[in-house]
């Protein structure tokens, strides 16, 4: 899949956020969790990538099926500022 620089930056931003699920990234960009990990590996410094991986592994908020809450969604205070975000415009 060919992604432009803006899309790669957005994927990294979404992956860095603790409450944005991999399923949300899949819905918006059509890429799987493993592809997100590869993008993060290429786009971050090695130490930053290791920190992110340690933080994300086993985190319930990064996987929709592991989340405790069913109703409602977390909405970031900056979400209004993010443009071209399909999920926030639903």
Span 66-87, pLDDT tens digits: 555 555 555 555 555 555 555 5
Note whether 58 and 17 are within 8 A (CB): no
* Residues contacting 69, CB < 8 A, separation 6+: none
Of 46, 86, 42, 2, the residue nearest 20 (C-alpha): 86
Q: What is the pLDDT of residue 58?
A: 72
pLDDT at 56 over 90: no
Looking at residues 2-8, what average pLDDT do you find?
90
Q: What is the pLDDT of residue 77?
A: 59
Please give the distance of CA 72 from its chain centroid, rounded to a whole number.
Answer: 18
| Mean of per-residue pLDDT scores for the chain | 79
Domain residue extents for the chain: 5-81
Q: In whole angstroms, what is the distance from residue 87 CA to residue 76 CA?
A: 12
Q: What is the pLDDT of residue 75?
A: 58
């Amino acid at each position: 899949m060919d992604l432009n620089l803006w899309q790669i930056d957005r994927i990294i931003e979404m992956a860095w956020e603790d409450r944005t699920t991999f399923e949300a990234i899949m819905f918006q960009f059509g890429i799987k969790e493993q592809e997100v990990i590869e993008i993060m590996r290429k786009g971050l410094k090695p130490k930053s990538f290791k920190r992110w991986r340690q933080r994300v592994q086993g985190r319930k908020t990064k996987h929709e099926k592991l989340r405790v809450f069913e109703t409602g969604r977390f909405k970031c205070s900056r979400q209004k500022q993010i443009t071209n975000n399909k999920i926030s415009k639903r």
